[in-house]
Structure formats: C-alpha cells, structure tokens
Amino acid sequence: MANIVEARDLALGYWRDKEPVAVLSGLDLYIKRGEFLTLVGPSGVGKSTLLRAIIGLSRPLSGTLDVNAHPNPGGRPSALVFQDPRLMPWRRVLGNVLFGLEALDLSRTERVRRAREALAKVGLADYEKRFPMQLSGGQRQRVGLARALAVQPDLLLMDEPFGALDAITRENLQDQLLDLWRNSGITVIFVTHDIEEAVYLSDRVMLLSGTPAAATSEHRIDLPRPRRRDEDTMTYIGEIKQSLADAFQGA
C-alpha cells in the first residue's frame, strides 16, 4: 500500500452517557508514505483527536482507519509529540527521553546513546540531569519532541510541537525537522495554528472545520525544496488564510 494512513468515512469523538458524540465525521484521508502533511483548523475542531486515533489511543466511532507504518529495526512504527509536553515529573530529562526507548529491544548503552543524540538535536544536551519542573515551557516541549525522535518512528505525529518557542529556536527546529524528514524518508503529520509554519514545512496543508468537522479544503504546496521564507511562500500563506476565514464563516 502506498498510503501510510487511509481513512474512509471516518467518525471520531467520545462517548457521553453511552452515546457517541462525533467530533469529526465523514472524513476521508489518504496520506502517502513519505509525505509531510499539516492539519490546521480552529481550536477544538478535532486535530488532536485525529492524531490520537492514528496512533491508536482511541478507536473510531465508525468508518475505517488503516495505519501502515513499518518500524525500522529498534524503532517504533509511530510516535506522537503530545500537545502538552506530558513529561513524568519524577524522571530527569534523560529519563523522560529514555521512556519510549525502554519499550524497545535495545541495550542500555544504545538507549542512552540515542536519548542523548535526540536531546542534542533539540538543543538540550546540557539539560539531561534536570527535572521537568526545572525547565521552561519551551524546553519541556522540546523534551517531548526528543522523546518522540529517539524512538525513530516511521510515522511521526506532532501536535503543535513548536508552539511555545521563540522565533529563532522555532525556525531552527523547523529546518532540522525538514532535514530529518528528507534524510530518513519518514512520514510526518503535523498540527499547527501557524499558517506560515504549515506552508513552509508541508507538501500538503489540510483544513479541518465544521461541527462535526471534516476536511473542508486542501492545499498542495508546490514550492521547491529546500524551502525558503520568500514571496512564493507568502502567496500560499495568503491563500490558506483566505480559505481558513471562509471556513470560520461557514462554521
């Protein structure tokens, strides 16, 4: 199957008093292996809900959802960077990054090596002995990012991973993420509220809106890679902003 994720007539949501409440419904989604897809849409529309379903934390209310990630040896099929960093307060930074690696069949030395490597990637090499409590919000988010990178997933799900970062750190991490993606051939599903970020990173930007939500529009970003923060990018940003505004009005 060329598609790493396939959803047909998918409905997602939660149960209230034994009744299903749909957050997303009638969603058709085809994500190609190796694609970089970004989801945007108003707050509460169901972006996190969709990522949770893809990684297997919740089951569809109806419809089908197939995920076909292949782990490389010593890696996980998929990994999620949670919207809240979700760190374990009793583990140090290194311990938090090791958490995902502990479920894999790796030697202790290899785990630590990979955890340190991931921490270096997010610029936290000197922070491994700290506790989450001793980090800034942006640093915590980067630990969550390192934890996901460390397990070398085939499918990387990222829920607003750069939200709490300053512009320079953010651009830096964006470029690193693009390097990683290009060099490893993994698939990335990214969620952000920042349209510029969405356009700069993605092959395709998908807009979710409505209640219950569905994919209302889709933009293929045909900009050459490596990406630049230039006028062409601005054109796309304008287009998507316009269609977002329409979606808001339709909602």
Ligand X SMILES: Nc1ncnc2c1ncn2[C@@H]1O[C@H](COP(=O)(O)OP(=O)(O)OP(=O)(O)O)[C@@H](O)[C@H]1O
Q: Which of residues 130-189 bind other proteins (CB under 8 A)?
A: 131-134, 147, 151
Q: What is the DSSP letter of 101?
A: H
Locate all alpha helices (DSSP H) within 57-205, ordered by sequence.
93-101, 108-121, 137-150, 167-184, 195-201
103 contact choice in other proteins, ligand X, Mg ion, none (CB below 5 to 8 Å, kind-dependent) = other proteins
Residue 80 binds other proteins (CB under 8 A): yes
Query: Structure tokens of 45?
Result: 């529309």
76 contact choice in ligand X, Mg ion, other proteins, none (CB below 5 to 8 Å, kind-dependent) = other proteins
Residue 49 binds Mg ion (CB under 5 A): no
Q: Which of residues 39-78 bind other proteins (CB under 8 A)?
A: 55-57, 76
DSSP E strands, the chain: 3-16, 19-32, 36-40, 62-67, 78-81, 155-159, 187-191, 204-209, 214-220
- Counted residue by residue, the chain has a size of 251
Instruction: Judge whether 68 and 155 are in contact, CB under 8 Å.
Output: no
As a whole number of angstroms, the distance between CA 226 and CA 36 comes to: 13
Among 25, 38, 48, 202, binds ligand X (CB under 6 A): 48
Among 41, 46, 100, 161, binds other proteins (CB under 8 A): 100
Instruction: Judge whether 249 and 42 are in contact, CB under 8 Å.
Output: no
Residue 56 binds ligand X (CB under 6 A): no
Taking the complex as a whole, how short is the minimal distance between the CB of residue 148 and Mg ion, in angstroms? 16
Taking the complex as a whole, how short is the minimal distance between the CB of residue 91 and other proteins, in angstroms? 8
Residue 111 binds ligand X (CB under 6 A): no
Taking the complex as a whole, how short is the minimal distance between the CB of residue 87 and other proteins, in angstroms? 9
Query: Structure tokens of 183?
Result: 């060099």
CB 28: neighbour CB atoms within 10 A? 12
Among 43, 107, 183, 249, binds ligand X (CB under 6 A): 43
CB under 8 A: which stretch of 83-91, 179-187, 198-206, 242-250 binds other proteins? 83-91
Query: Structure tokens of 84?
Result: 């809240």
Residue 187 binds Mg ion (CB under 5 A): no
Interface with ligand X (CB under 6 A): 14, 23, 43-49, 83
